[in-house]
Structures are given as structure tokens and as C-alpha cells.
Structure 1
Amino acid sequence: MPVPGMLPSYQRYVNGVPVSVGRKSLRMREKYIILLVFLTFGMVCFGAFFFLPDLRDRVTVSEMRRHIQMGGAEIFVPGKESPGGLQVDNHGDIIDVHKVQDKGRLGVKIAEDVARQKAIDELSNKLKLPKDDTLKVKDAIDQDKEKLKEQEKVKEMEIQVERQREAKDKVHREHSGGEGTRGGEPADPAVKVKRDKVKEMMKHAWDSYKKYAWGSNELRPISKQGHSASIFGTSTLGATIIDALDTLYIMEMDEEFKIGRDWVATDFKFEGSTELSVFETNIRFVGGLLSAYALSGDKLFKDKANHVAEKLLPAFNTPTGLPHSMVNIKTGSTRNWGWASGGSSILSELGSMHLEFDYLSNVTGNGIFAEKVYRIRDFMNQIEKPNGLYPNYINPKTGKWGQHHVAIGALGDSFYEYLLKMWIQSGKTDPVSRKMYDDAVSAIETHMIKVSPGGLKYVSEYKSGRNELKMDHLGCFCGGMFALGAEGSAEPEKYLQLGQDIANTCHESYDRSATKLGPEAFRFDGNTEAKAVRQNEKYYILRPEVLETYFYMWRFTKEQKYRDWAWEAVQALETHCRTDGGYTGIRDVYQVNPQKDDVQQSFFLAETLKYLYLIFSDDSLLPLDKWVLNTEAHPLPVHRVFKKNATVTENDEKHL
């Protein structure tokens, strides 16, 4: 029952009429609730439409289960977001959400995480450590594994580099002797000191040339300027650089070798209107470049040698195929020396082309070079020889001998040397060259070898049936030649002894001078033995021939005296020929303080210092069964004989 004075909460009076306000308020709340329900439903539908994936035609219960399993915890507990579309997962790793949409890659990552956690658990159980400590151990192990992987990569790279080096060496060996190009350090420390001294001499000669005459043919060490002999014409050809390259390489003077190589690459221009000696150009330039190629495998040297040799080819355009002595490298015109007997070619010059041209044909596939020198050999083999001897002069047009002057020294020397070395270069398979050499030596024995009253054996000169009792410094090379040719002869001990006898005589020509250096020529007239008589024979121009014979005699006999004699020569060179600007020749070996000629010959670096270095080296450096030295001491590899119809590579057939 209502309390007097109080009205029900739902009853009010308006203008004296009671109104039920409670019912009206209830209806308003219901409207709000209904509106809220509709809004919620609308938002759910809107969200479902735009955010739920389209699973039509491809979603099954099993696929959905697999999808959830592969999604892992990140489906329900997303990682922390970071800028750039990246997330940090529960392990602290950063994930690019744009790249982890592929479920296969995501599955792999989950599998790795599971495997990692399993490994940590197993390791923790084995080590009985807390998981935090185990995690540190695991990380350390992983780091070690990464280091091992890096080491394996480095090792693999080293293996690849070694394989490439071996492949390069194999290619090199196919075009060169491939063995004994460096090293040869003697076991005896005292001998090594002497070898190092020779290397220091080479450095002084090279550095002086580089400082005062770079690019010139030769050096004037006293004047400290460039020099050029007539054999080089008027051109600046850097003869010393090319002559020295193989010596620098053998002595392992790599920086100097590279400087020389770079000059050849950029500055060696075998052009211009100049007349050159065919012989000197061949033995110094073609031989020097081919030797540098054979030793280093650098194709640049082969290409340059080929270019120079092509410039010499016009000299062979004669009825007999015997080359002229001079060629103009621009016009191609050729001629012989005016002083040579009746316009003749010279025996040593025409006969000292074979080693270089045959090897050039082998490495280029161009048979033209070998064809030229084999034609010379065949002609000289067939021609009639007076008393079995080869005179120094022959006419290239008629094929007739000039003046009957025979010498194993100047004008004739290297012809005989190359007969023997053709056979050696062929791997001792060329019977024609061997027979020509044996026949020539037999004739020399019969007509030219003499013994002085003092018991010195020497090779005289033979002129029109009479002997001139003298021997040139140039002829002293033959002691080494006789020793080198002993193997393969009918009487090897006889020829080895002949080499020893000549070596002894040539040493006497040095020992009987005031400077302990030998004269250009020495005689055996009356009371004179192994001494120069004429003033124009008393000079010494840094020649190598006596040292060349010491080298071969040391290799074949191992008698200490040859090294002792070589060291005497080193001391004499240092005393009388060394200047602060290089090395010079002297005008009279019989004077205590001789006048100097002021020329450092290019062959001093190519031959003299090389032979001295080899004498004080082990035999493994340039072994004589792998290498043959041309008459300028440029080593070329022993290889097969090039034949006109020989099989060559398909790429080279076009050159034949």
C-alpha cells in the first residue's frame, strides 16, 4: 500500500493526470541494447568479409590442422613488430613477414627451431647443466661449426687455386722444358756465398744499365750513357734488356724481370728503316725472347719473337736458301758484309739459326721457320767439303766456297756448336745432325788440333792447307762442346778428355796475364804459349767462352778446379772491370792497371754472369737433359724435331 505523500517510481502527474514513466524508460534501454547488438553483428560481418582467408574449394579439416601446426605459436601469440614489416619471434630472431608467407619456408624454420631446442635439451641432459648454460655451450659449438665451414671454404679455394696452378704449369710444360728453371741452391754454404756474389754482380750490371742507359742497346759504364754497336743498326732496341731477361728469371730477380717484361710489352718496337745483323738479331732477340717464353710461359715473349723472326725471313730468299748477313727490317732488302770473301755469307752466321727457328715453329705451328733452317742443314750436308772441313765463307747464290779459311773461333765457332745442339734439342733423335757433327769433329782432329812444346793442346786455324798456330777466345767454347758431345760418340772418354785439355789451355791464357783475364786471341809461336803477341789481340771485352767451358766441365767431371778457376775470374772481373756505373772491358790484359773500353756488352748479362751462376749452382738448375743453351746462352727446352708434315693442333694447321 502506498505510503501517504509518496508516489510510485513509475507514476508522475502531468497537469493533474498520472503518467507511468517507468515503462517508457524501460523501452528506451531496450532500444539501446538492440542497437548495440546490431552494431556488433555488423562489425563482425564486416571483419569476416575483409580479413578471413578465402578457403573456398581448397580447405579441408586436415589441411586446416596442418596449417595451424605449421604456423606454430606465432598464430596465437604474434611476435613483436618492428619497422619495415619485420617481426621478432619468440627466440629473438627477426623475421621479414613479407618473406615468411610461404608455408614451406616457414615449416623449415619451425623444424630448425624444434631441432635446435631438441639439441639443447639433449645436450643439457648429457652435461647436466641448466638450460641457460647449455644454450651458451650450444652457441659456442655452433660458432665452431661456422668456423669449420669457413675453414673448409678456404681449403676448397686453396685446392681450386692449386688445381689452376697445376693446369697452368701443365700448359707451360707442354711448351717448355718445364723443369729446373729456378732453384739449384748449393748445399755447401761457401759455394752459396760465391753464387750470391755473382747475383750481386748481375744486379749491379742491371741497375747501372737501368739508371744510365734504359732502352738503349748497351751501356757505357764510365760515360754513364747509352751505347750501340753497328750490329744493331741505328735503332734503339733495348738489346741488354732482352738479352738479360732469362738470366734475371733464373736468378729469381722477379722485380727486375717484371720491369724488363713491361718494357718489352710497351716499348719494344722492332720497326723503322734500319739494317741489322741477321745472326746477332737471331741469337740475342729471337733467342732471348723465346727463352723468356720457355722459362716463364708468358705468351707475350713468344709473340714478340715471332714478329722479329718474320722480319728476318727476307734474308733467306737466295738460290741456295743460305741467308745473307744483313737485312733492312723496313724494306726487306738484304746483303752480305762488304769485307766477306767475294760477297760470301759467313759459316757461323748461317749455321746458327736452327735452335731458335725450330723451337719457334714448334710453339707457333708455323712451319716456315723450321723449313728455312732445315734447308740450310740439308744443303750444308750435301755440299762437298774440302778435307771434310767447313771453310768460313760460302756464296749464297752459287753455293761455292769462298776463301779456304777454317776456324773453330771467329767466323766458324757456333756452326759446329749448333750441329751438336740440333741433335740434343731433338731429344737425341736427329741422326743427320749428329753425323754431321761427328764428321766435322773428326776432320778438325785430323787437321787442326795441335799440341804446343809445353804440352798445351789447342785448336789451330787452317788456311789453304797450312796451320796458323793461334786460338781465339771465342774458340775456347769448344772445350765444353767436346765434353757435351762425348755422350753419343764412339769414344766418349776420348772427347771428355779433349774437353779437359782445351779447358786447361784456355785457363792458361787467363793465368798468364797480369789481370788474370784472357786475351781476344793467343798464340803458340816459338817461345810464346797461350799469350797474345799483337796489340789488337790483347783486349778483353767481358767474353764468356772460357767460363762456358768451365761450366760444362764442372757438370761432367765435378773436379773442384773448375769452380776455383771460375772464382778467379769473378775476382778478376771485380778488380779490373767493375766501375760504379757497371762493368767495362779492358784494352790490355797484360797491364796491371789497364785502360777501360767503356762498354758493358749485352752478352755479359746474357752469358758471362749466367755461366758463373750456374757453375756455383746445383745441377738441378737447367739440367742438360731438359735444356739446351743457344750460342748466346739462352736456354731452350729439349723437344721433338719439327717436321714439315708433322701433326700439329687443329688451330695451328692454318699456319703450315
Structure 2
Amino acid sequence: MLKSVIVANMAASGGVFPNYQRYVNGIPVPQGRRTLRFREKYIIVLVFLSFSAVCIGAFFFLPDLRDRVNMSEMKRQIQNAGNEIFVPKAVGSAGFLKHDPDELFDMHRIEDRANIRKKIEIDWEREKMLEALGKKVNMSKDDALKVKSNIEEDKRKILEQKKEQEEKERLEKEKKAVEDVKMEHEGVEGGRGGEPSDPDVRSKRDKVKEMMKHAWDSYVKYAWGANELRPISRQGHSASIFGTLSLGATIIDAVDTLYIMGLDEEYKVARNWIATSLNFDGPTELSVFETTIRFIGGLLSTYALTGDAMYKEKAASVADKLLPAFNTPTGIPQSMVNLKTGSSRNWGWASGGCSILSEIGSLHLEFVYLSNITGNPVYKEKVMKIRDTLQQLEKPDGLYSNYVNPRTGKWGQQHVAIGALGDSFYEYLLKAWLLSGKTDTTARQMYDEAIKAMEVKLIQKSKSGLVYLGELKSGRIEQKMDHLGCFCGGMFALGAEGSDNKDKYLQLGADIANTCHESYIRAATHLGPEAFRFDGDTEAKAIRQNEKYYILRPEVLETHFYMWRLTKEQKYRDWAWDAVQALEQHCRVESGYTGIRDVYQINGQQDDVQQSFFLAETLKYLYLTFSEDTLIPLDKWVFNTEAHPFPVRYGKR
């Protein structure tokens, strides 16, 4: 019996230890434990220790927010800002909180959160003001809200008036800029017009205008925005001088020609692209020389012709990109500049890492003019430093070498030429004098001395009496003249006025014009080669295959233009017209104009490139040759070496 009772008690307890059950009046009474089990004690201690660790960590490691949070200020802001904090009035696109019509806030931006906080503070101050105003004048809440609404309306009107005033000032500034240009160019005329009265001459001029339109329309259709056009392939083209960017070189080079020819619709298209799309940002290298004469020259010329300040601003932005190239010990710039890094270098093929005379000497007109119209002297200072350095160098026999070291300021390889590598340096000495209103006497003196030295060392005469300028290499004359050098006929004639012997230099210009014309008519295509020689019985003809090409160059036609203007001898117009016919027969294709690889072959291979200077120079000089002298008169305008005209006596300020 006792055993059964013990077993029953064990079963009832659910354990192996006795559970001494209490009974009251024979009825078992539930009995709870008076102590915690060991496992339960362990859990409680563990919870307590964890909580203590969290508290201690919070105390030592969390930032003190007392300086960052002002609880009373927060409470006041929440009470007065009202529901707008939690339910914005309006939400703009992309989740922006919109408080005012003219303000968009991004809640995730630190600066915008600061703006929101500032706005809440302003609203709080307004509420305080309205509350005080209401108490002072016993104003109802509705009246106070009306006052607030009136204040907001006044604020809106003030902002509108401010915007209108700013717009008015902007328009007045632009208008004043145009008026300033007109004042700068007071007395300068002849940017358009010049229609000849002779019907035959007029028809020839119209033909040149049609050629320009054909070249331009083809570029617009097949290569818009690219640097140049491949008229046969019907796609864009870019030479290494433009780097890897599409800079619209043809647009910049052609825009003043379009304006001068009165192609107004085409001009507007070009102008709009320049205003909205011309951009010199990118990791690429550009030629300092080519960028100056084509881009800066084209922009400044069109500014001078139109008075449109946009061109001036664009020209300055391009020039600024080139300035790092001048950071050399002598101030003589290097040939190439990286637009992104500002680093510069010279051509790898140049003698001993030297700079090129024609390149460093053909920046003067553009940079001086830019300083004058912007008021920024840095551009002029850069090119005057080049002139000073060159002027102080010792010149053997009075001659300038084609190479000069930008670090040492010493001449490189002895090579003197009026063609490639040297040409436009001499041109810019003369034209700096002309552009200054003949006040830059240093430039004129340097020009006269250089030309006299060339007369002694470079001027040659062939067996048949053709006059040309050879090249001096290491003391020996090479009997060769470049197509590039054919510009000098016009230069000699233009510089005759003001020289010590006007007739002599006019005749020298005529002699060079005749020789270069012979290089044209002795070719089967009546277009001249890149270079021609006078070796033995060969006169004014190319011998080497790599000198027989023609790439739409303008220099011969440039000299014909000057000789016509200065002498009025009909032969110069006749020679120009002969060139027009040759261009139409051998260079015109369905989609523009192309160069040819051999001027001595009829229907020979074409090079498939429409050079930008064809529109800037070749067609412009032809058009002016068949125009009256009132169009770009030579006493009021001076052409840069890319045929972009600048106004004479611009420095009146």
C-alpha cells in the first residue's frame, strides 16, 4: 500500500524526486516552488548583464546630441509649421519637395535640408510677427492670414520685377556691346556688297558664290559638325591638327565668307551652331597655330563684320585653352597643347624639339585684336614676348631660321624659306603694321630688314627669266618654291606702299605672280602642284611624285587678288577665272570639292578631302577678285593668313 502511494506521488510530480503533497481535509492542495531553478537564474543574470553592457556602451560611444538638438526649438517649430512638415503642399518631379513655385528641394541633399530648416525658421518668424500684429491691433486670425497672403503676393511681385530688371539690364548690356563694336569700327565699312556693274564680271562672281553654296550645302548634308568633308565618301573628315574632337572647323572657317557673300540663311545656320555647339572641352591635343588662324581668326573676323558679341566671347574661350602652350622659359609657345591637362609639346619631326617660325609668328594679329576688344592684356603680352625674343636674337645675314628652341631661345637647324615653315611670319610683320594704322613701326622695321636680307640670299631667276624665292639649307640654295610661298607676291605688292622703293616691290610682286601662274598653266589640269622646281631645263614644274598634288590651296589666287586690287591689270582676273574653270572641271564632284593627287594627269586620282580653307580662303579670294573694291577695302581691312579680315585702326580706346 505504501509503495503504491509513493509511486502515485512520483507520477503526479512528473519527476524522479519525491514531491511531498499537502492535503487539507483529505483534498490535495497545489504546491508551487519556493526557489528558482539554476537555469532560470542563469538566464536572468545574462539578461541583466546584457542590458548593463548596452547602457554603458551608449553612455561612452554614442555622440552627445545635446548641442545638435534643441528640444524646445523643435517643439516650437513642429507646433507652428503645422501639417506642412509631414504633408507637403506639393511634390515636384523625382520626389522633390516643393514649397514655392520657384524652389525645389531634395530631402536627401544636405544643402537642401539646410534650406528647408531655414525656411521653417522664416515661417516661424512670420507666424510670430502675425501673432504680435493680431494682438496689437486686435486682428482676427482670418485677417492675419489675409495680411500674410498680401505679404506673399508682394514678395512675388518684387521677385518678378527683379527678374524683369535683370533681363532688361542683360539686353541693354548686349545692345551696348554692339554699339561699342560700331564705335570701335567707326569709319570701317565694306563688309558686304561690292556688286560689279559689268554683267560679265557679275556672272563670274555669281558663279563663285554658287561654288561656295555647293561646297557648304554638301558639308551640311554629309558632315555637319565634323571638321571637314569627304565629298566622295560623303562623310566627315578630320586631320591630326584638330585632334580627336569634332570642332566644326569648316563652319568656323566659312562663316565670315557666308556673311560677306550674302548667303544669309546659310550664315544663320552656321551662327546658331557656333552659339550652341562649339565646345573645346575634351582630352585631346590641338595645333596652337591652326587653332589660332582658323578658329580664333574666324570668330574674331565675324565679330568684326557683324558686331555680334557671341563671337568675341567664343574666341576668348578658345584662346584661353591655348595659353598653357606659352609657359616656356622664353615665352615662345610649343606647337601642340592638350586641352585637358594643359601640357604642350613640339612636333616630333621638328629640328631638336624646336618651335616653327611660321607658327609662333602667326599669332600676333589674332591675340592683339582679342586683347583690344576684351580689355584683357594677357593675349597681347604673350605675342609681344615672342616678338621681343625674336627681335633680340642674332640673325646671321639678317635671316630668320625656320626653327627656334623655346627653352634656350636659340636657332635650330639652319633652314630659311618663305614657303612652308616660314611663310606667314613675314606676312604678319607687315600686317601688324597695317592693322595698327601704320603706328607699329617696330613691326614694319623688322619686315623691311627681313625682306632685304631675302633679296640678297633667296631671290632667284630661272634661265627663261622666271623670278622665284629658293630655300636656304645649311648655306646652300635649293632651287624650289612651294605653293604656300606663292602668297608672297601679294605680300610684296601690299608692302610696296611705305617701303623705300614702291615700284621695285610692286614689280617683285608681279614677277612672283607670273611665276606661280606658270606653275598652273604648265600642268595639264591648270592647277598648280604643292611644290615646283627649277632644275636644269625644268622650270616651274614638280618633279617628285610627292610634290604633284593639289589640295585646293589658295595662295596663288591670293596673290592674283592683291595684284588686281593694286594694279587693276585685267590679266589677274583672267588668271583667276582660268582657275575657277579648272576647279570646276577637275575638283568638283556631286557632293563638294576634292583635291587631286597629280596635277599633270587628266581624270587622275582624287584625294576625297574638302579642306576647310577652301571655303575660308580660296573661294573668298576668288569672290573678292570679281567684286568691286568697296567690298573689304584694303585700307580698312587686313586679312589674317586664313583670309579672315580684321578692321584697321581698331585700337582707338
TM-score by structure 1 length? 0.72
CA-to-partner distance for each residue in 1:480-518, whole Å, 9 max, x for gaps? 000000000000000000000000000000000000000
Question: Offset of 1:168 from its aligned partner?
Answer: 8.7
CA-to-partner distance for each residue in 1:21-70, whole Å, 9 max, x for gaps? xxxxxxxxxxxxxxxxxxxxxxxxxxxxxxxxxxxxxxxxxxxxxxxxxx
Q: Does 1:171 align with 2:213?
A: no
Question: Offset of 1:176 from its aligned partner?
Answer: 3.8
Q: Distance in 2 between matches of 1:557 and 1:637?
A: 23
Q: Is the Cα–Cα contact under 8 Å of residues 185 and 650 in structure 2 kept in the other structure? A: no
Question: Offset of 1:563 from its aligned partner?
Answer: 0.2
Identify the match of residue 584 of structure 1 among 564, 584, 594: 594
Aligned to 1:103: none
Q: Is the Cα–Cα contact under 8 Å of residues 175 and 297 in structure 1 kept in the other structure? A: no
Q: Distance in 2 between matches of 1:357 and 1:632?
A: 15
CA-to-partner distance for each residue in 1:430-450, whole Å, 9 max, x for gaps? 110000000000000000000
Aligned to 1:245: 255
Identify the match of residue 518 of structure 2 among 508, 513, 532: 508
Q: Distance in 1 between matches of 2:445 and 2:651?
A: 16
Aligned to 1:318: 328
Question: Offset of 1:266 from its aligned partner?
Answer: 1.0
Matched position secondary structure for 2:496: coil
Q: Is the Cα–Cα contact under 8 Å of residues 178 and 309 in structure 2 kept in the other structure? A: no
CA-to-partner distance for each residue in 1:411-465, whole Å, 9 max, x for gaps? 0000000010000010001110000000000000000000000100000001111
Question: Offset of 1:593 from its aligned partner?
Answer: 1.1
Aligned to 1:80: none
Matched position secondary structure for 1:467: strand
Q: Does 1:472 align with 2:472?
A: no
Question: Offset of 1:375 from its aligned partner?
Answer: 0.9
* Code of the aligned partner of 2:630: S
Q: Distance in 2 between matches of 1:229 and 1:189?
A: 40
* Code of the aligned partner of 1:173: K
Matches within 5 A, 1:1-80: none
Q: Does 1:306 align with 2:316?
A: yes
* Code of the aligned partner of 2:614: F
Question: Offset of 1:277 from its aligned partner?
Answer: 0.3
Q: Does 1:230 align with 2:263?
A: no
Matches within 5 A, 1:510-549: 510-549=520-559
Identify the match of residue 471 of structure 2 among 461, 464, 488: 461
Identify the match of residue 645 of structure 2 among 631, 635, 644: 635
Question: Offset of 1:166 from its aligned partner?
Answer: 12
Q: Is the Cα–Cα contact under 8 Å of residues 221 and 600 in structure 1 kept in the other structure? A: yes
Matches within 5 A, 1:321-400: 321-400=331-410
CA-to-partner distance for each residue in 1:604-626, whole Å, 9 max, x for gaps? 00000000000000000001111
Q: Is the Cα–Cα contact under 8 Å of residues 534 and 541 in structure 2 kept in the other structure? A: yes
* Code of the aligned partner of 1:562: Y
Q: Is the Cα–Cα contact under 8 Å of residues 176 and 297 in structure 1 kept in the other structure? A: no
Q: Distance in 1 between matches of 2:554 and 2:571?
A: 18
Question: Offset of 1:241 from its aligned partner?
Answer: 0.2
* Code of the aligned partner of 1:600: Q
Aligned to 2:205: 195
Question: Offset of 1:173 from its aligned partner?
Answer: 2.5
Matches within 5 A, 1:384-423: 384-423=394-433
Q: Distance in 1 between matches of 2:554 and 2:468?
A: 18
Structure 2 CA distance for partners of 1:424 and 1:637, relative to 1, 3 Å: same
Q: Distance in 2 between matches of 1:402 and 1:366?
A: 33
Q: Is the Cα–Cα contact under 8 Å of residues 523 and 532 in structure 1 kept in the other structure? A: yes
Matched position secondary structure for 1:327: strand
Number of matched residues? 480
Q: Distance in 1 between matches of 2:651 and 2:548?
A: 42
CA-to-partner distance for each residue in 1:195-229, whole Å, 9 max, x for gaps? 00000000000000000000000000000000000
Matched position secondary structure for 2:477: strand
Structure 2 CA distance for partners of 1:169 and 1:184, relative to 1, 3 Å: farther
Q: Is the Cα–Cα contact under 8 Å of residues 176 and 295 in structure 1 kept in the other structure? A: no
Aligned to 2:274: 264
Aligned to 2:501: 491
Aligned to 1:118: none
Identify the match of residue 552 of structure 1 among 535, 543, 562: 562
Identify the match of residue 570 of structure 1 among 580, 590, 613: 580
Question: Offset of 1:639 from its aligned partner?
Answer: 2.1
Superposed structure 1 runs of 4+ greater than 6 Å apart:
165-169
CA-to-partner distance for each residue in 1:274-322, whole Å, 9 max, x for gaps? 0000000000000000011111111110000000000000011111110
Question: Offset of 1:169 from its aligned partner?
Answer: 7.4
Which protein shows a greater Rg?
1
Q: Is the Cα–Cα contact under 8 Å of residues 178 and 308 in structure 2 kept in the other structure? A: no
Q: Distance in 2 between matches of 1:376 and 1:180?
A: 33
Question: Offset of 1:378 from its aligned partner?
Answer: 1.2
Matched position secondary structure for 1:569: helix
* Code of the aligned partner of 1:465: G
Q: Distance in 2 between matches of 1:628 and 1:335?
A: 31
Q: Distance in 2 between matches of 1:492 and 1:169?
A: 39
Q: Distance in 2 between matches of 1:418 and 1:257?
A: 28
Aligned to 1:215: 225
Q: Distance in 2 between matches of 1:617 and 1:309?
A: 33
Q: Distance in 1 between matches of 2:525 and 2:184?
A: 43
* Code of the aligned partner of 1:486: A
Instruction: Report the aligned-residue RMSD.
Output: 1.5
Q: Distance in 2 between matches of 1:254 and 1:640?
A: 26
Matched position secondary structure for 1:636: strand
Matched position secondary structure for 1:499: helix
Q: Does 1:600 align with 2:610?
A: yes
* Code of the aligned partner of 2:616: A
TM-score by structure 2 length? 0.72
Q: Distance in 2 between matches of 1:176 and 1:441?
A: 31
CA-to-partner distance for each residue in 1:152-184, whole Å, 9 max, x for gaps? xxxxxxxxxxxxx99997533224473000000
Question: Offset of 1:583 from its aligned partner?
Answer: 0.2
Q: Distance in 2 between matches of 1:590 and 1:222?
A: 21
Aligned to 1:54: none
Structure 2 CA distance for partners of 1:166 and 1:498, relative to 1, 3 Å: farther
